[in-house]
């Protein structure tokens, strides 16, 4: 997951038609890879879905592994929005936590995200770097955002915590619970917006009970 080789290629692809095709390839590859996995997907199927010649794929992405890595990178980019929120200073901690909790619930219940979770872990055996890349840009980033948020409140004396890392992890755990597990294994869980809010509040209440002074 290191290099920027393909990005360089993409820069050279001034032509809009090329950029359009590259985008279509990446979109098609995302669907194929996140449905059938790496070895279960074929370049020809991706080419067909992208309505593009197989040679074109090999032109822009040298190899299947490279294409896969680019898809992962793109997906990680899409997922890396802050779930905690920016304007956190104007709101109370409780409001901020509920906001973050609802965001997290929305994020993990997206079909795209579920399919991503299904496939990615399986590829760790083939290439551990994709696992580390995802962890850094996904869960670890979220945890850090939360820690930053909690630190402010602790310094203000609003909450009690001798271990912000553990506190942040507890929060995420209480919010998500086992939902992601069941989703990953095919359980059809659907929460309406009020249900998500209810769950978010329940998690925040529990967490604040643990961390009250």
Partner DNA sequence: TTTAAATTGAACGCGGTCGTTCAATTTAGT
Partner DNA sequence: ACTAAATTGAACGACCGCGTTCAATTTAAA
Q: What distances in angstroms separate CA 96 from CA 55, 68, 100, 148, 180, one per listed residue?
A: 50, 36, 6, 12, 22
Q: Is 186 in the site for a second copy (CB under 8 A)?
A: yes
How many amino acids of this chain bind a second copy (CB under 8 A)? 43
| Residue 185 binding: pick among DNA, a second copy, none (C-beta 5-8 Å cut-off by kind) | a second copy
Q: Is 141 in the site for DNA (CB under 7 A)?
A: no
Rule CB under 8 A: choose which of 44, 95, 148, 177 binds a second copy. 177
d(CA 175, CA 207): 9
Residue closer to a second copy by CB (options 24, 184) is: 184
**Sign of the C-alpha dihedral computed for residues 149, 153, 159 and 163 taken in this order:** positive
CB of 207 to DNA, least distance (A): 46
d(CA 55, CA 58): 5
Residue closer to a second copy by CB (options 48, 181) is: 181
d(CA 22, CA 25): 5
- What are the residues binding DNA (CB under 7 A)? 12-18, 21, 41-45, 51-56, 58-60, 62-65
């Amino acid at each position: 997951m290191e290099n920027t080789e393909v990005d360089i290629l993409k820069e050279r692809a001034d032509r809009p038609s090329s950029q359009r095709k590259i985008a279509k390839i990446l979109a098609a590859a995302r669907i194929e890879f996140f449905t059938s996995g790496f070895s279960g997907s074929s370049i020809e199927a991706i080419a067909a879905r992208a309505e593009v010649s197989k040679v074109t794929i090999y032109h822009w992405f040298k190899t299947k592994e490279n294409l896969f890595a680019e898809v992962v990178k793109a997906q990680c980019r899409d997922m890396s929005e802050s779930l905690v929120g920016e304007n956190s200073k104007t709101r109370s901690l409780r409001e901020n936590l509920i906001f973050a909790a609802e965001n997290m619930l929305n994020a993990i219940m997206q079909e795209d995200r579920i399919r991503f979770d299904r496939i990615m872990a399986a590829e760790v055996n083939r290439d551990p770097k994709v696992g580390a890349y995802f962890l850094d840009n996904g869960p670890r980033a979220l945890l850090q955002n939360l820690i930053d948020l909690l630190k402010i409140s602790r310094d203000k004396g609003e909450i009690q915590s001798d271990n912000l890392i553990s506190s942040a992890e507890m929060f995420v755990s209480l919010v998500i619970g086992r939902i992601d597990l069941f989703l990953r294994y095919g359980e059809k869980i659907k929460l309406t917006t009020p249900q998500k809010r209810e769950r978010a509040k329940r998690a925040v209440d529990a967490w604040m009970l643990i961390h009250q002074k």
